């Protein structure tokens, strides 16, 4: 059974309670129509449910989320996948600022652009590695403080001369990896990262995730892989180790 909720004029607190309660009682699929800025959709839910959002969801979509799949058929706002632990989030549009903040696991696939501070302080532990892929470009401070995880920027549909990422790319980064399809100017990089070529292991990881990504958005994997990628990695896992006197 699919539960359809008309979100028109529905307060977020009531809406999320309906979802939580129904999920608790075994409902596995939800369709939210007319979403218009309702916050915290899917937040903190640990059940393997599927939520389709028709309309624009509000901030902190999928915050602390732990298992569900969310499909957004519009743009998403700020704080998407904030401190998310597991699950999948597919945004058929662009997403706002601070997406994937402190993300610990799961997948965040954005078709279009992402705002400032994407993937900030993402983490990983052994096999639990969060993945963020954005089809377009990213704002400033992309991948700031990253301590783990994989962040991919494809830079598709860019206008002439538009950079793929803003300034301070990877600043404070001390773990994880950023893959970029195209080039970035040296001066836009944070001082804690270095640019490296991809090795076969990188290609394997990248192909695997991009295949899935292309499946969601009807893109051609070969076409995407035809352009060269670069890899950004932190210079040190201890960027501030020598900052202090004894």
Partner 1 sequence: MAATSELPPEFIVKIDYDRCRRCKRCVMNCSFGCMHFTDRVVPEHKLCVACQRCVTYCPEHAITVTKNELAYKENANWSPELRKNILKQAETGGILLVGMGNPRDYPILWDHLLIDACQVTNPSIDPLREPMELRTFLGRKPDRLEFVERDDGEIDLATEIEPQVRLDVPVIFGAMSYGAVSLNVHRSLVMAAARSGTLMNTGEGGLHRELYPYAGNVIVQVASGRFGVHSEYLNTSAMVEIKIGQGAKPGIGGHLPGEKVDEDISKTRMIPVGSDAISPAPHHDIYSIEDLSQLIYAIKEATDYEKPVSVKISAVHNVAAIASGIVRAGADVVTIDGFRGGTGAAPMVIRDNVGIPIELALAAVDQRLRDEGIRNNASIICAGGIRSSGDMAKAIALGADAVVIGTAALVAMGCRICQKCYTGNCAWGIATQRPELVRRLDPQVGSARLSNLLTAWSLELKEILGSLGVNSIESLRGSRERLRGVGLDSQTLELLGVKPAGVGQ
Residues that bind partner 1 in the complex, under the rule CB under 8 A: 13, 16, 20, 39-40, 43-46, 59-60, 63-66, 78-79, 82-83, 85, 98, 101-102, 104, 117, 120-121, 123-125, 128, 144-145, 147-148, 172, 174-175, 237-246
Structure tokens at 242: 């020598």
Q: Which is nearer to partner 1, 61 or 210 (CB)?
A: 61
Selection from 16, 33, 27, 25 nearest residue 49 by Cα: 27
CB of 143 to partner 1, least distance (A): 12
Q: For residues 97 and 154, which CB has a smaller minimum distance to partner 1 in the complex? A: 97
Nearest to residue 226, comparing CAs of 214, 216, 235, 236?
214
How far is residue 79's CA from residue 151's CA, in Å, rounded to a whole number? 16
Give the residue with the Cβ less far from partner 1, 57 or 135: 57
Q: Phi, psi at residue 3, to the nearest 5°?
A: -100, 120
What are the tokens at 43?
């937040």
- Which CB, 125 or 215, lies closer to partner 1? 125
- Most distant pair of Cα atoms in the chain: their distance: 63
Residue with tokens 């652009």: 113
Taking the complex as a whole, how short is the minimal distance between the CB of residue 93 and partner 1, in angstroms?
A: 20
Our CB check for partner 1 shows the closer of 156 and 169 to be: 169
Q: How far is the CB of 60 from partner 1 (least distance, A)?
A: 5
To partner 1, the closest distance from the beta carbon of 162 in angstroms equals 24
Residue 83, both tokens: 């401190």
């Amino acid at each position: 059974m699919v539960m359809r909720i008309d979100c028109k004029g529905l307060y977020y607190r009531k809406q999320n309670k309906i979802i939580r309660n129904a999920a608790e009682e075994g409902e596995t699929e939800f369709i939210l129509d007319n979403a218009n800025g309702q916050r915290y959709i899917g937040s903190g839910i640990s059940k393997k449910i599927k939520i389709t959002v028709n309309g624009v969801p509000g901030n902190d979509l999928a915050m602390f989320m732990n298992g569900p799949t969310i499909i957004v058929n519009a743009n998403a706002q700020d704080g998407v996948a904030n401190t998310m632990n597991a699950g999948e989030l597919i945004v058929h549009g662009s997403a706002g600022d601070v997406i994937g903040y402190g993300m610990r696991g799961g997948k965040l696939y954005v078709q279009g652009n992402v705002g400032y501070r994407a993937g900030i302080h993402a983490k990983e532990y052994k096999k639990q590695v969060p993945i963020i892929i954005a089809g377009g470009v990213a704002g400033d401070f992309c991948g700031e403080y990253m301590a783990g995880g994989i962040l991919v920027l494809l830079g598709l549909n860019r206008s002439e001369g538009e950079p793929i990422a803003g300034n301070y790319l990877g600043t404070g980064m001390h773990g994880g990896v950023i893959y970029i399809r195209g080039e970035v100017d040296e001066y836009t990089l944070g001082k804690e990262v270095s640019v490296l070529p991809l090795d076969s292991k990188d290609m394997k990881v990248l192909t695997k995730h991009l295949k899935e990504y292309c499946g969601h958005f009807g893109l051609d994997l070969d076409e995407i892989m035809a352009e060269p990628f670069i890899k950004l990695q932190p210079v040190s896992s201890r960027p501030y180790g020598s900052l202090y006197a004894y």
